[in-house]
């Protein structure tokens, strides 16, 4: 048995490892085919990164440019280039744990692996020696961006590995894990955007989140199976570390854990586990959530956004709810009761609100420190179709936050759910008609077959009962033979069916006999125990009487003892039955009831019977077939929650697809695999092979050779080169959030705004920067830029057409917020066509323009010097 388990573990490990390396190569090839990054210069590679990706990679670049890791770490704690003129502690403000880890590994690689015998990268230049170093072509693991991307691909491989073991756990067969991985690859364009946005925070956080979800299901499965909870400290520490790492990597981790905590409030009563055990686990789980939040708060230099995390209130509510369930536990299999859930939800909401209020009143935290306010405003805007603020409208028009097309969800449901069930229905319908046809075409056996079957039955009857033909005159014997012949007639004179039915009836009789005898034995043992207890009590009473009546020499026996003796002797002895009991004593099973008393395994007073122990072993073998286990309930409900989040925010839809790839084979296997194994394999393989062709190969081809390019050619490279050559190193820039981070990454020029609009002062700064796209007066716009100390302003010429194309057009957003200015022209459209005082266009191409800001004093001096010439 141990060798089989070892072989099973090794086979699963080999399959999972194979999927790991195949997926890493798959993603690497897709990214290379889309970007051709191996042949790009450093400037061209960095110009591919937009929005938050460029900002986070600039932090990693800061680490790699320094001589050692700790010098770069100190520089990140006091950075002035991203929110000029303020100094920013990047480690406190942003989720930079992935950059810190990869930067540290890169410094180790550069220190110990770079030798002449083992070069970690190679560079070459073009023939034009006048080009700067940014035009070198470098490739290899030692190139900073290449090393960063390799770490991202490896984390993607970890995600696939977790998907495989998660699918294997839920479906209870290796094919379920393989089906989950292949489904994930088939819908990779929906389930992951790792090749479109490699630096996105979800690429680092989701492998950890999914690992935490898998480990949580594994713990619930083991606790439910063993009906006991062991290794509490180890499980709590592991859950704490996984949760803390996910919180440090992605701001949406808190939202996911909040939904997870709410699901954990559901009772485990469909299973036979004691509520004391389940509530103990949920207490440890809630404590792990709170400790992880405290750990993330400490590691991020007291970042206040973790105080406003969405999962803190539900975790405290779950803690109180679990304590209440321990005080007033329900018995196992008592049915589902959702009365206590309302108390937990009420506690979660009240604790969250009270915590916010207390922190604001004490001054420990302010509402402007709440980084989730933007997502709250987004929910309000989507729900009521009302624009809350300018920055909220800008975020809502971000393609990553737009509502998802329902057709994408139907593609998942059609392939993973509808196809298997339609195929299953066709197979079962064909099986039903085949059985119905056979039943309607009932063939009458021939006379020879009837006589032959009767002869076989008669021989078996005489041999089993050991009687001769002379004893056939006995009425009882004749009745028994007639019953056998009637059973043969019911089986349509099929001797094989007769033998099967005879064996079943015989086994039922033996089982009933054994059950009757075992009940008798249990009753005798209970009576004996009762008589012993009664005799002990009477003996103590009689001993006291004997001490009082010490003059009497003889003591009368107690009446109760006589009655007990009579009752025990009046039960007849169990008759002996010839049964095969070999090995029955070794199949005892250990149970623990709610009172903590164990039965079986050496208990001499109450002995488990052979059929009871067999039932115990069978229940253990068939335990996993129950789909109402709480880890299945959690997985399905979490899938529903991910679907709701994905339909609301397109950025989060990959959660729904990934969880769906794990759930789909589980649904099939749990309903079919146990009882209809052949149908399960036939249907699953048919759907599996057809799905690999369409939409599997179609989606994979679209990934390698997209019909729509991921990054449109916007000639950003030429503008970045102009900035590097023609502007000062300390020149301050402002511009659209899509490209301003790229400007800082490539040119290392200070910027005043970036793409993290959830930060309150960046929210306000972005509104001032985008005022150039409104209809405000030039003096008002200039005053806003002068307060930000902006020297160069980048504008998108496509947004300066003075026309409204859709509701996400910048001019449309400004008109809704400032309807009184609709009579004026758009300022940037005027700026693109003519010179305006204090604004000078110094660069432009087909997509972008750069405006240099002049002070009012310089402008006045120019006017005074030119006026005499105009008079002449």
| 481 half-sphere exposure, CB direction, 13 A CA radius | 22
| pLDDT at residue number 302 | 82
C-alpha 316, offset from chain centre: 22
Number of H helices, E strands in the chain: 35, 8
Query: What Å distances lie between residue 185 and 23, 179, 692, CA to CA?
Result: 8, 10, 10
State the average pLDDT over residues 316-341.
71
**pLDDT > 90 fraction of the chain, expressed in percent and rounded:** 16
Query: What Å distances lie between residue 390 and 230, 394, 430, 809, CA to CA?
Result: 53, 6, 61, 12
Between CA 221 and CA 623 the distance in angstroms is 10
pLDDT: is 779 or 859 the higher one? Answer: 779
Q: Please answer whether residues 752 and 765 qualify as being in contact, where contact means their C-beta atoms are separated by less than 8 angstroms.
A: yes
C-alpha 300, offset from chain centre: 24
Query: What Å distances lie between residue 163 and 111, 155, 664, CA to CA?
Result: 35, 12, 12
* Minimum mean pLDDT range among 294-308, 405-419, 762-776: 405-419
| pLDDT at residue number 128 | 46
Length of the chain: 872
Res. 561: pLDDT tops 70: no
* 130 — pLDDT class (breaks 50, 70, 90): very low
In sequence order, the β-bridge partners of residue 795 are: 849
Using CB atoms within 10 Å of the CB of residue 275, give its burial: 0 to 12 exposed, 13 to 18 middle, 19+ buried.
buried
pLDDT: is 872 or 128 the higher one? Answer: 128
pLDDT: is 474 or 240 the higher one? Answer: 240
Res. 611: pLDDT tops 60: no
- Look at strands 733-734 and 591-592 and give their pairing: unpaired
Q: Is 238 left (phi over 0), alpha (psi -120 to 50) or beta?
A: alpha
Nearest to 799, CA basis, from 728, 756, 848: 848
**CA pseudo-torsion sign 11, 13, 14, 18:** positive
* 751 — pLDDT class (breaks 50, 70, 90): very high
| pLDDT at residue number 734 | 92
- Angle, helices 495-548/559-570, rounded to nearest 10 degrees: 160
- Angle, helices 144-171/653-672, rounded to nearest 10 degrees: 30
Number of Cβ atoms within 10 Å of the Cβ of 605: 9
H or E segment to which residue 850 belongs: strand 848-853
State the average pLDDT over residues 383-394.
76
Q: Is the pTM of this model over 0.85?
A: no
* 452 — pLDDT class (breaks 50, 70, 90): confident
Encoded tokens for 323: 């304590």
Between CA 139 and CA 146 the distance in angstroms is 7
| pLDDT at residue number 176 | 79
Encoded tokens for 120: 């970690």
Using CB atoms within 10 Å of the CB of residue 699, give its burial: 0 to 12 exposed, 13 to 18 middle, 19+ buried.
middle
Encoded tokens for 858: 């310089």
Cis ω for the linkage preceding 96 (within 30 of 0): no
Mean of the per-residue pLDDT values of the chain? 75
Q: What DSSP state is assigned to residue 3?
A: H
Q: What DSSP state is assigned to residue 774?
A: S
Q: DSSP string spanning 815-831?
A: HHH-GGGTTSPPHHHHH
The CA dihedral of 304, 305, 311, 315, to the nearest 10 degrees, is: -10
Res. 558: pLDDT tops 50: no
pLDDT in tens, 850-867: 989 876 544 444 443 343
* Minimum mean pLDDT range among 367-371, 529-533, 591-595, 695-699: 591-595
| pLDDT at residue number 185 | 85
**pLDDT > 70 fraction of the chain, expressed in percent and rounded:** 68
C-alpha 264, offset from chain centre: 14
Cis ω for the linkage preceding 695 (within 30 of 0): yes
**CA pseudo-torsion sign 315, 318, 320, 326:** negative
Q: Name the CA radius of gyration of the chain, rounded.
A: 38
In sequence order, the β-bridge partners of residue 123 are: 138
| pLDDT at residue number 673 | 52
Using CB atoms within 10 Å of the CB of residue 611, give its burial: 0 to 12 exposed, 13 to 18 middle, 19+ buried.
middle
Q: Which residue matches tokens 């012949």?
A: 485
Sheet-wide strand order for 792-796: 733-734, 792-796, 848-853, 839-844
* Minimum mean pLDDT range among 23-32, 105-114, 254-263, 339-348: 339-348
Res. 158: pLDDT tops 80: yes
Using CB atoms within 10 Å of the CB of residue 761, give its burial: 0 to 12 exposed, 13 to 18 middle, 19+ buried.
exposed
* 741 Cβ contact partners less than 8 Å away, ≥ 6 residues apart: 49, 50, 51, 52, 53, 54, 55, 58, 751, 754, 755
State the average pLDDT over residues 305-324.
85
Q: What is the 3-state secondary structure (H, E, C) of 376-430?
A: HHHHHHHHHCCCCCHHHHHHHCCHHHCCCCHHHHHHHHHHHHHHHHHHHHHHHHH
Using CB atoms within 10 Å of the CB of residue 417, give its burial: 0 to 12 exposed, 13 to 18 middle, 19+ buried.
middle
Nearest to 496, CA basis, from 536, 452, 528: 452
Res. 340: pLDDT tops 80: no
Res. 532: pLDDT tops 60: yes
pLDDT: is 185 or 670 the higher one? Answer: 185
* Minimum mean pLDDT range among 40-44, 286-290, 440-444: 440-444
| 3-class SS of residue 363 | coil
- Domains of the chain (ranges; CATH) run 451-466+477-527+560-568 (no CATH), 716-871 (3.40.50)
pLDDT in tens, 566-609: 344 443 444 443 433 333 343 344 434 433 334 334 433 333 33
| 3-class SS of residue 123 | strand
Between CA 255 and CA 258 the distance in angstroms is 5
Query: What Å distances lie between residue 709 and 49, 190, 196, 424, 713, CA to CA?
Result: 14, 16, 10, 39, 9
| pLDDT at residue number 283 | 92
* Minimum mean pLDDT range among 239-248, 292-301, 433-442, 575-584: 575-584
State the average pLDDT over residues 704-732.
80
* Minimum mean pLDDT range among 395-399, 440-444, 621-625, 686-690: 621-625
State the average pLDDT over residues 242-252.
92
Cis ω for the linkage preceding 85 (within 30 of 0): yes
| pLDDT at residue number 208 | 94
Encoded tokens for 353: 């609100």
């Amino acid at each position: 048995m141990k060798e089989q388990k070892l072989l099973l573990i090794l086979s699963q490990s080999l399959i999972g490892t194979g999927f790991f390396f195949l997926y890493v190569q798959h993603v690497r090839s897709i990214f290379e085919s889309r970007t051709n990054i191996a042949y790009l210069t450093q400037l061209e590679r960095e110009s591919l990164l937009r929005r938050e990706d460029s900002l986070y990679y600039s932090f990693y670049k800061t680490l790699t440019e320094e001589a050692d890791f700790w010098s770069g770490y100190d520089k990140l704690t006091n950075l002035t280039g991203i929110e000029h003129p303020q100094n920013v502690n990047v480690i406190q403000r942003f989720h930079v744990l992935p950059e810190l880890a990869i930067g540290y590994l890169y410094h180790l690689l550069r220190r110990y692996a770079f030798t002449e015998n083992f070069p970690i990268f190679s560079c070459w230049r073009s023939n034009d020696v006048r080009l700067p170093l940014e035009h070198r072509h470098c490739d290899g693991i030692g190139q900073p961006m290449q090393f960063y991307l390799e770490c991202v691909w490896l984390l993607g491989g970890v995600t696939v590995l977790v998907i495989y073991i998660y699918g294997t756990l839920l479906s209870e067969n290796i094919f379920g894990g393989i089906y989950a991985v292949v489904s994930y690859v088939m819908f990779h364009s929906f389930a992951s955007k790792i090749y479109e946005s490699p630096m996105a925070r979800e690429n680092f956080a989701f492998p950890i989140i999914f690992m935490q979800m898998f480990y949580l299901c594994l713990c619930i499965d083991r606790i439910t199976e063993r009906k006991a909870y062991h290794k509490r400290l180890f499980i709590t520490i592991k859950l704490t570390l996984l949760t803390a790492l996910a919180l440090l990597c992605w701001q949406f981790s808190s939202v996911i854990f909040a939904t997870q905590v709410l699901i954990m409030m559901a009772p485990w009563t469909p299973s036979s586990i004691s509520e004391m055990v389940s509530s103990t686990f949920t207490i440890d789980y809630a404590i792990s959530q709170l400790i992880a939040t405290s750990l993330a708060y400490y590691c991020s230099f007291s970042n206040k956004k973790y105080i406003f995390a969405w999962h803190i209130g539900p975790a405290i509510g779950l803690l109180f709810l679990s304590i209440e369930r321990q005080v007033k536990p329900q018995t196992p299999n008592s049915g589902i009761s959702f009365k206590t859930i309302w108390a937990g939800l009420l506690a979660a909401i009240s604790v969250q609100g009270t915590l916010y209020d207390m922190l604001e009143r004490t001054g420990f935290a302010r509402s402007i420190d709440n980084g989730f306010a933007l997502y709250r405003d987004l929910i309000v805007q989507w729900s009521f179709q009302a624009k809350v603020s300018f920055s909220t409208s800008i975020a809502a028009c971000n393609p990553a936050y737009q509502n998802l097309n329902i057709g994408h969800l139907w593609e998942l449901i059609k392939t993973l759910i509808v196809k298997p069930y339609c195929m299953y229905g066709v197979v079962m319908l064909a099986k039903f008609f085949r059985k119905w046809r056979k039943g309607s075409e009932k063939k009458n056996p021939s006379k020879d077959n009837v006589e032959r079957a009767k002869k076989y039955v008669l021989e078996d009857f005489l041999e089993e009962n050991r009687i001769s033909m002379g004893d056939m005159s006995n009425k009882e014997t004749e009745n028994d033979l007639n019953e056998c012949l009637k059973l043969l007639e019911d089986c349509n004179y099929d001797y094989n069916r007769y033998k099967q039915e005879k064996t079943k009836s015989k086994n039922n009789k033996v089982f009933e006999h054994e059950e009757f005898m075992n009940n008798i034995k249990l009753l005798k043992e209970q009576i004996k125990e009762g008589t012993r207890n009664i005799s002990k009590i009477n003996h103590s009473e009689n001993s006291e009487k004997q001490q009082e009546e010490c003059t009497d020499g003889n003591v009368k026996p107690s009446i109760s003892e006589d009655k007990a003796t009579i009752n025990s002797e009046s039960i007849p002895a169990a008759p002996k039955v010839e049964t095969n009991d070999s090995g029955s004593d070794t199949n005892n099973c250990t149970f623990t009831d709610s009172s903590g008393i164990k039965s079986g395994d050496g208990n001499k007073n109450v002995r488990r019977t052979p059929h009871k122990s067999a039932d115990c072993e069978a229940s253990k073998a068939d335990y996993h077939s129950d789909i109402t286990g709480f880890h299945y309930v959690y997985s399905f409900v979490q899938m529903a929650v991910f679907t709701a989040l994905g339909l609301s925010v397109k950025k989060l839809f990959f959660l729904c697809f990934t969880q769906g790839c794990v759930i789909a084979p589980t649904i099939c296997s749990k309903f079919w695999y146990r009882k209809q194994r052949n149908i399960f394999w036939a249907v699953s393989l048919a759907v599996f092979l057809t799905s690999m062709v369409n939409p599997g190969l179609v989606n994979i081809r679209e990934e390698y050779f997209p019909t729509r390019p991921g990054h449109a050619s916007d000639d950003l490279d030429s503008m970045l080169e102009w900035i590097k050559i023609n502007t000062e190193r300390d020149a301050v820039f402002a511009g659209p959030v899509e490209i301003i981070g790229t400007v800082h990454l490539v040119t290392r020029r200070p910027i005043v705004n970036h793409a993290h609009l959830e930060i309150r002062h960046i929210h306000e700064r972005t509104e001032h920067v985008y005022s150039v796209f409104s209809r405000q007066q030039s003096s008002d716009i200039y005053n806003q830029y002068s307060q930000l100390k902006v020297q160069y302003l980048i504008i998108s010429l496509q947004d300066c057409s003075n026309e409204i194309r859709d509701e996400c057009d910048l001019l449309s957003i400004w008109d809704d917020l400032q309807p009184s200015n609709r009579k004026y022209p758009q300022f940037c459209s005027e700026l693109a066509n003519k010179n305006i005082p204090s604004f000078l266009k110094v660069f432009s191409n087909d997509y972008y323009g750069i405006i240099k800001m002049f002070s009012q004093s310089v402008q006045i001096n120019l006017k005074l010097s030119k006026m005499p010439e105009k008079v002449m």
